[in-house]
Chain A
Amino acid sequence: DIQMTHSPSSVSASVGDRVTITCRASQDISSYLAWYQQNLGKAPKLLIYATSSLQSGVPSRFSGSGSGTDFTLTISSLQPEDFATYYCQQANSFPLTFGGGTKVEI
């Protein structure tokens, strides 16, 4: 199975900050990676798929990059509603796997 590892596991930031989250796959997953945002008590929300494609309706301050085993999610200017937990997910092979998440907090 492909293991997905987030770093850091949590990050403290302020409104307006630029935040970068990293996800590493245990083997090459090409560009088959998605990012999800989950606010407390809510269902996850797809932000980015195929490494860098922005899901419809997602603000452009979110962006993704990477390939192979190393991927990043960047929030260019953190907004109050962005304080949440972010998960990466590989779609290269079954079983599909999620990372353990990165919590973005104040």
Chain B
Amino acid sequence: EVQLLESGGGLVQPGGSLRLSCAASGFTFSSYAMGWVRQAPGKGLEWVSLVGTSGSDTFYGDSVKGRFTISRDNSKNTLYLQMNGLRGEDTAIYYCAKSHGANFPGSRYFQQWGQGTLVTVSS
């Protein structure tokens, strides 16, 4: 059974940093692209970032480009999201998601999701 367990969320002041982690199990982690999707309170889904199987290919949404960094450690079956320069509008539940495959287009569909971790940016 696929399991994705996010951690690292919490309360942070504007301008601060936070690193989210997503521990994956139940599948061959290194064979799938992985991503982060967020949802602000009461709002819809917003794609944040995607990383390819090796970690060398990374993609970002416009609102986080230059501030967030996605990475993965295939030896630890773990996905990360380093978030710097946090703003109030970054407040959201952050979901870790396993893609449908390694390559286009499957890599861009999110087949399984974690339960999410809440990030609150406030002074």
Contact = CB atoms under 8 A, between A and B. Distances in A.
Interface residues of B, number: 24
Interface string A93-106: 01111111100000
Contacts of B62: 1, 95
B108 A44 contact: no
A87 B60 contact: no
Contact of A46 (B61, B104, B109, B116): B109
Contacts of B45: 36, 38, 44, 87, 89, 98, 101
Interface in B84-117: 95, 100, 104-106, 108-116
Contacts of B111: 46, 49, 55
Interface in A28-71: 32, 34, 36, 38, 43-46, 49-50, 55
Given A44-B110, A91-B105, A91-B109, A100 B44 contact: yes
A91 B95 contact: no
A96 B104 CA distance: 12
Contacts of A98: 44-47
Q: Is the interface of A mostly helix, strand, loop or mixed?
A: loop
Chain A interface: which size bin?
A: 20 to 34
B27 interface: no
A89 B47 CA distance: 9
B69 to A, nearest CB: 16
Given A34-B110, A43-B115, 20 more contacts: A34-B109, A38-B45, A43-B113, A43-B116, A44-B37, A44-B95, A44-B113, A46-B100, A46-B110, A46-B112, A49-B106, A49-B109, A49-B111, A50-B105, A55-B111, A89-B110, A94-B59, A96-B59, A96-B108, A100-B44
Interface of B: 37, 44-47, 50, 59-62, 95, 100, 104-106, 108-116
